[in-house]
Amino acid sequence: MLISASRGYKELPTLTAISLDQINRALSSRLTPWTDLATAATPSTSTARPTRPPSQSPSLPPPFQTSSPHHPGLPPSPRGRYPFILYPSSFIRACPNSNATHRTHHKLVSIHRKTRFNLPRQGLRKMSTLTAITSSTSPLASAFKKQKVAIIGSGNWGSAIARIAGNNALKLSDIFEYEVSMYVYEEDFNGKPLTQVINELHENPKYLPGIKLPENVVAYPSAAKAAEGATLLVFVLPHQFIRSVCTQLKGQINPEAYAISMIKGVEVKDGEISIFADVIEETLGVECAALSGANIANEVAEDKFSETTIGHREGEKGKEAAELFFKLFDTPTFKVGMIEDVAGVSLCGALKNVVAIAAGFTDGLGWGDNAKAAIMRIGLLEMKRFSEEFFKGVKPETFTETSAGVADLITTCFGGRNRKCAEAFVKTGKSFEVLEKELLNGQKLQGSETAREIHEFLKARGKVDDYPLFKAVYSIAYEGIDAHDLTSKL
């Protein structure tokens, strides 16, 4: 794979010959002992790669005796050329001229020294606007540009994940920009706009009360404003709102951004079914992964241990995106696993909500733990069979071995909102619509809606009877069938 730096830059024909592999190897060893810096004023033709012993931590360089007008603090460039050297990132940060352009410039210098291209000073200056490199989605670009994160959604899970992303952005400040923006669907909270309350209190008292958000998480009432300049977009809205938010974002986002869907639901439209990672990719033209797992939001927000799963696309871009999202979310108490299976991860998250409704029915009926375990076993098999029948390339192990699969099914059937509302459905006879309003304080139920959507999809194919548990949930929720009939056809 070659990098093209052709745009307006005739003096550097050799640049087109730098392979990504070379550059990545250079970047992976970009820390250099300061002793190398001390000899920087002497041009070197050495090809040896400067490396830092693992035990040695970087410290500030000795002050340079001389300075150049362009970069005070850098050694003069002998014969108009920079010496062969890699500049440590801490030095780049310490450069008195340390604005974003110069940091990029220094890193370019580092790479070109490493790859033994002696570039004229004038050329290097032009390279600070080298859009062909800095705007690409290559690993090189990731190394140059800090990632700007936007969380699209701010409900119960949206706020919990914004807290994690905000904290990790602060910790990994060489990878992520300081601010993590968060789209908040504006509403009134005790006479004030919710965005204002969140930005003043650094807490979302409506959807995640009692949990502090880091100060770098900033709420915006416009999805387009929150997503402005973002290179990493995190979609975490109830599934019924994704289409309308994607419409607001269409044409407004960086087409080279990576997205991830944390939405647990599917879209059924004109008899076809889609996962939301695909909807996002198709509507916005950005590569989209999926994250799902056994992740009751309040527990995650309290740093109680849990695992989660990123499902990523195949190929280099898919892996690169997953690795960036891994860095954004992984913490000692929120352990991220990865699998190349966007559809499997997404479908696990959507379909387990239907099974959790059935599990809630068993609670409402007072049937006990054995009955619930049976529902979960049968439900897992239907989830897997449905996914394999209607989606290509879904991996069986996603269902049986990852947090997105069996683990999320268990947690939702015991501790989720779907279970809770389904129990109340049996006990009170009220509709799910009413119970959502009464019990969830603005949070949204996904399972009852998904049961209806799956039924519509299967009906269009004459396959309703092939999935008896999904059918029973639909019939009880929407057709007035007695909950006691839940297991009669299983």
Ligand X SMILES: O=C(CO)COP(=O)(O)O
Which residues on neighbouring strands pair with residue 189, listed in sequence order? 192
According to the binding rule CB under 6 A, does residue 236 interact with ligand NAI? yes
Tokens of 348: 């696990």
> Minimum distance between the CB of residue 305 and ligand X, rounded to whole angstroms?
14
According to the binding rule CB under 6 A, does residue 421 interact with ligand NAI? no
According to the binding rule CB under 6 A, does residue 207 interact with ligand NAI? yes
For the CA atoms of 286, 289, 295, 301, the dihedral, rounded to the nearest 10 degrees, stands at: -40
Q: What is the CB neighbour count within 10 angstroms for residue 484?
A: 12
Query: If binding means CB under 6 A, how many residues of this protein chain bind ligand NAI?
Result: 25
Separation between Cα atoms, residue 359 and residue 355, nearest integer Å: 6
Q: Of 75, 83, 88, 158, which one interacts with ligand NAI (CB under 6 A)? A: 158
Do residues 354 and 379 lie in contact, with contact meaning Cβ atoms separated by under 8 Å? yes
Choose the contact partner of 418 out of ligand X, ligand NAI, none; CB within 5 to 8 A by kind: ligand X
Residues found near ligand X in the complex (CB under 6 A): 264, 294-296, 353, 356, 408, 411-412, 416-418, 446
Q: Which residue has the tokens 């979960």?
A: 376
Rg (the chain; Cα; Å): 26
According to the binding rule CB under 6 A, does residue 83 interact with ligand NAI? no
For ligand NAI, the closer CB: 87 or 432 = 432
Coil, helix or strand at residue 296:
coil
For ligand X, the closer CB: 139 or 238 = 238
- Distance set, CA 32 to CA 167, 459, 486 (Å): 28, 64, 66
For ligand NAI, the closer CB: 144 or 386 = 386
Q: Is residue 73 within a helix (H) or strand (E), and if so which, with residue range?
A: none
Q: Quick one: 63 exposed, middle or buried, by C-beta within 10 A (0-12, 13-18, 19+)? A: exposed
Site string for ligand NAI, 253-292 (x = CB under 6 A): ---------xxxx---------------------------
Do residues 124 and 109 lie in contact, with contact meaning Cβ atoms separated by under 8 Å? yes
- Distance set, CA 476 to CA 163, 371, 407, 452 (Å): 38, 17, 26, 11
In the set 352, 372, 395, 471, the catalytic residue is 352
Separation between Cα atoms, residue 422 and residue 417, nearest integer Å: 8
For ligand X, the closer CB: 261 or 411 = 411
Dihedral-angle region of residue 102 (phi above 0 means left; psi in -120 to 50 means alpha; beta otherwise): alpha
According to the binding rule CB under 6 A, does residue 156 interact with ligand NAI? yes
Q: Write the single-letter amino acid at 465.
A: D
For ligand X, the closer CB: 254 or 295 = 295
For ligand X, the closer CB: 341 or 408 = 408
According to the binding rule CB under 6 A, does residue 237 interact with ligand NAI? yes
For ligand NAI, the closer CB: 174 or 187 = 187
335 catalytic? Reply is: no
For ligand NAI, the closer CB: 266 or 394 = 266
Cβ-proximal residue to ligand X, closest one: 416
According to the binding rule CB under 6 A, does residue 443 interact with ligand NAI? yes
Tokens of 354: 């239907």
Do residues 188 and 326 lie in contact, with contact meaning Cβ atoms separated by under 8 Å? no
> Minimum distance between the CB of residue 416 and ligand X, rounded to whole angstroms?
3
- Which region among 27-35, 237-245, 336-344, 422-430 touches ligand NAI (by CB under 6 A)? 237-245
Choose the contact partner of 32 out of ligand NAI, ligand X, none; CB within 5 to 8 A by kind: none
Choose the contact partner of 153 out of ligand NAI, ligand X, none; CB within 5 to 8 A by kind: ligand NAI
Choose the contact partner of 408 out of ligand X, ligand NAI, none; CB within 5 to 8 A by kind: ligand X
Choose the contact partner of 411 out of ligand X, ligand NAI, none; CB within 5 to 8 A by kind: ligand X
- The total number of residues written for the chain in this structure: 490
- Which region among 113-121, 250-258, 360-368, 442-450 touches ligand NAI (by CB under 6 A)? 442-450
Nearest Cα residue to 357 out of 424, 307, 263: 424
Choose the contact partner of 91 out of ligand X, ligand NAI, none; CB within 5 to 8 A by kind: none
Give the residue ranges of DSSP H helices in 308-416: 315-329, 342-365, 369-390, 396-401, 408-415
- Interhelix angle 369-390/468-478, rounded to 10 degrees, is 110
Which positions are catalytic? 352
Which residues of this chain interact with ligand NAI, rule CB under 6 A?
153-158, 185, 207, 236-239, 241, 245, 262-265, 295-297, 442-444, 446
